Amino acid sequence: MDSKKAQFLYLSQKEVIECGGLDMAMVLDKVEEVLSLRDKGETSMPDKISLKWKDCDINTRINAMPGYVGGNCNTGGIKWIGSKPENPSKHGLPRASALTILNDPETALPICILDGTLISAMRTGAVTGVGARYLARKDSSSVALIGAGTQNHTQLKAILTALPDIKDVRVCDLSSDRVEEFIRYEKCENTKLSFKGTTEARDAVEGADIIVSATTTVKPIVKSEWVKDGAYISNVGNYEYEYDVVRKSSKVLADNWQAVIHREHQTAARMVLNGEIQKQDLYGELGEVINGKKPGRENNSEIIFFSPIGMGIEDVMVAREIYDRSISKGIGTWLTLWDEPYWI
């Protein structure tokens, strides 16, 4: 470089959207690609750091999630994401807010700082959607959503992108108001779908081809006898399933077993930590299925249980695509770190 000037591109959430941040088909493909790269050993991802402070509740935190993605991405980065569950009711703000930084491995300098809130929600939904591509029945027509919060909007968006023949959506939440609000929004987005709202998990789960849970519960709310043969289950949130749901499943997978067990909250992780199942009883990781090392769904009667944890490398992968699109479109604001470095 002739100049020692250091600049990076800043992208607001509006600009992230202009560059395809709501393009779930793109996000699904990028998440699938990064899971494949991780299985091939072409990513690096240190443990997530969770920052807490005096008097914060169990669900309040700020997480640092760094990662490097190789392949055509060849980018390092980090997501800095805060979570405050009372934000919507107390401040009129989203529960989660994120900032993502991308760095060039050649110089280690930042090349882009962008809103990560939207990307984080989209890629979290996309992991379930990629799982649906490989683990759900191709003729799946019904979805049960446990939890009527923000996250299940992108979970549904991803499932509908992966399996466009879905016809029936059941939404369950302890709050009937949240259920009604969720369905009101989704009916505007998906006019051809049939929606049913309930405050009882059984009403949503029984007969559903796909079950997705995204809640903060610390007690199981889904019973094994409610789960039909052939179901695909995505345990996005916490301890939503009684142990017998996992025992009843033909295959139990994660996107990253080490991270799932380290987090401790999801049902299968609790079972491993409590000695209810052994690590060798776990079928494998989704990246292995994507790369053809292990088969995904092999018949229509298998119950397949998936524990997605979400990884910083997914944010880096999607953010890099947004950055590349912003460069080609001339979108964003260039900011200067320095014109000349103070020290070299």
CATH number at residue 88: 3.30.1780.10
- Considering the domain architecture, whether residues 303 and 319 belong to the same structural domain is answered as no
Is the distance from CB of 153 to CB of 181 less than 8 angstroms? no
- Is residue 125 domain-resident? no
**pLDDT confidence band for 95 (50 / 70 / 90):** confident
Overall average pLDDT of the 38-65 stretch:
92
pLDDT digit string (tens) for 284-301? 999 999 999 999 999 999
**Three-state DSSP class for residue 12:** coil
- Considering the domain architecture, whether residues 86 and 194 belong to the same structural domain is answered as no
What is the average pLDDT score of the chain?
95
Structure-derived torsion over alpha carbons of residues 131, 135, 139, 142, reported in degrees to the nearest 10: -60
- Considering the domain architecture, whether residues 82 and 146 belong to the same structural domain is answered as no
**pLDDT confidence band for 91 (50 / 70 / 90):** very high
Share of the chain above pLDDT 90, in %: 86
What's the pTM value of the predicted model, to 2 decimals? 0.94
- Considering the domain architecture, whether residues 264 and 159 belong to the same structural domain is answered as yes
Catalogue the active-site residues: 79
- Considering the domain architecture, whether residues 277 and 329 belong to the same structural domain is answered as no
Q: What pLDDT does 216 receive?
A: 84
pLDDT digit string (tens) for 240-260? 999 999 999 999 999 999 999
Q: What pLDDT does 2 receive?
A: 46
Q: How many domains does the chain have?
A: 2
**pLDDT confidence band for 3 (50 / 70 / 90):** low
Boundaries of domain holding 38 = 6-119+312-338
- Considering the domain architecture, whether residues 59 and 166 belong to the same structural domain is answered as no
Q: What pLDDT does 171 receive?
A: 98
- Is residue 202 domain-resident? yes
Overall average pLDDT of the 214-231 stretch:
94
| The token pair that represents 145 in the structure block | 């959503």
Identity of the amino acid at 267:
T
Question: From the centroid of its chain, how far is CA 167?
Answer: 23
CATH number at residue 245: 3.40.50.720
